């Protein structure tokens, strides 16, 4: 049973998650409203792709606006049947440079949306995409180096990952702003009876992602490899993350809306879980296997609040909805490589090394 009520408002809908969600919904016959300020690299191209695939204006409405503008948000919310809140400032590094801007987008922008929803006579259901960064650096989780990766000394954590009972521990302005928004959504659900769910997400990747050194590390590594550009690895490259291909995330969103009446008002850890983990060095290995090349790598100091180990325990959401990831790491990375090949054309395959960049097909850590 579908839980989507039309039209579906997607804030940040021209970003990579938003455009994948909108494409799925439009393909299923739903009406979609995209609210996006089009400020991030690649989103204009994403939106053009979406509009070309779904040219009927009665199905897809685009509002170029900012969640920091309460009037724009109220107008976008009016009459919508469901809301997915993706609009955000997404990089820890940017938040360190401009903490006020980070707060305005992530915390105040979310509060603008919540107030717009509260003003509706029948508030539509909301899904807010939070982050595992609300748990902080997890310094109390002792880890040991096992082979080419960090692993918790606690065997239970090693077996199932981090669950929602993990205490919140906001670090960095980004962690504070996303964490504040996370808590506001849950509190509005509790105090004002808004139908809402929070996803604390881990390492989402997939088609239409414009990753960079600050955010979207899998896409950043893939594109750097295909374009034969050197990479900087922060830390030792052995840090472990669970990864989730965007198609599986969209499935999880659909499951959440279908079960909103019974599972709303809670936060859920959403990621690939223990069966879909990857380290930075292992991704370089995988790119060597899939593409025959890997970029020159230099190492830099650990970044603030970087977790040596974070793997989502998704059992709470799986038990509530029956959802589970379907796309394995190798298949997902291969799909992303294919998508970048299609976008970059001949420049991504068989190109000669540029400048002084040195290349090797040698694999790391296996």
Q: Looking at the annotation, which residues are catalytic? A: 174
Q: How far apart are CA 316 and CA 313, in angstroms?
A: 8
CA-wise closest residue to 170 among 130, 129, 134, 132: 134
Q: How far apart are CA 33 and CA 337, in angstroms?
A: 29
Kindly state the tokens that stand for 304: 């603030």
Residue 284: HSE in the Cβ half-sphere, 13 Å Cα cutoff:
26
Q: How far apart are CA 125 and CA 170, in angstroms?
A: 26
Task: Give the three-state DSSP class for 191.
Answer: helix
Tell me which DSSP letter residue 162 carries. Answer: B
Query: Angle at the Cα of 280 (from 278 to 285), degrees rounded to 5?
Result: 85
DSSP secondary structure of 286-344: HHHHHHS-B--EEEEPPPTT--SEE-B--HHHHHHH-----S-HHHHHHHHHHHHHHHH
Query: Angle at the Cα of 177 (from 46 to 318), degrees rounded to 5?
Result: 70
Residue with tokens 């100091």: 301
Ramachandran quadrant class, 118 (left: phi over 0; alpha: psi -120 to 50; beta: rest) = alpha
């Amino acid at each position: 049973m579908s839980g989507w009520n039309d039209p579906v408002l997607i804030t940040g809908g021209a970003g990579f998650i938003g455009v994948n969600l909108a494409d799925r919904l439009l393909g299923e016959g739903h009406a979609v409203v995209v609210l996006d300020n089009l400020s991030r690299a690649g989103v204009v191209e994403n939106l053009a792709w979406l509009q070309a695939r779904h040219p009927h204006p009665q199905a897809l409405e685009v509002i170029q606006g900012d969640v920091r503008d309460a009037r724009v948000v109220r107008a976008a919310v009016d009459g919508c049947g469901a809301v997915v809140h993706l609009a955000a400032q997404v990089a820890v590094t940017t938040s360190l440079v401009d903490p006020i801007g980070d707060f305005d987008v992530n915390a105040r922008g979310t509060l603008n949306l919540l107030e717009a929803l509260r003003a509706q006579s029948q508030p539509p259901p909301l899904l807010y995409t939070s982050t595992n960064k609300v748990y902080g650096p997890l310094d109390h989780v002792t880890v040991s180096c096992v082979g080419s990766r960090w692993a918790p000394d606690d065997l239970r954590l090693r077996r199932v990952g981090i669950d929602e009972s993990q205490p919140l521990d906001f670090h960095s302005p980004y962690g504070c702003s996303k964490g504040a928004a996370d808590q506001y959504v849950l509190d509005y659900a509790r105090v004002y009876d808004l139908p809402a769910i929070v996803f604390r997400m881990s390492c989402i990747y997939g088609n239409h992602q414009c990753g960079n050194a600050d955010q979207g590390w899998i896409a950043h590594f893939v594109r750097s490899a295909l374009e034969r550009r050197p990479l900087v690895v922060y830390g030792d490259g052995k840090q472990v993350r669970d990864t989730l291909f965007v198609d599986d995330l969209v499935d999880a969103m659909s499951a959440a809306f279908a079960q909103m009446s019974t599972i709303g008002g809670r936060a859920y850890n959403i990621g690939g879980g223990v069966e879909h983990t990857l380290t930075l060095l292992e991704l370089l290995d995988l790119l060597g296997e899939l593409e025959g090349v890997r970029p020159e790598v230099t190492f830099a100091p650990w970044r603030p609040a970087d977790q040596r180990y974070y793997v989502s325990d998704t059992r709470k959401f799986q038990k509530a909805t029956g959802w589970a990831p379907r796309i394995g790491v190798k298949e997902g990375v291969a799909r992303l490589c294919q998508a970048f090949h299609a976008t970059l054309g001949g420049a991504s395959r068989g190109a000669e090394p540029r400048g002084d960049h040195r290349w090797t097909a040698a694999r790391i850590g296996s």
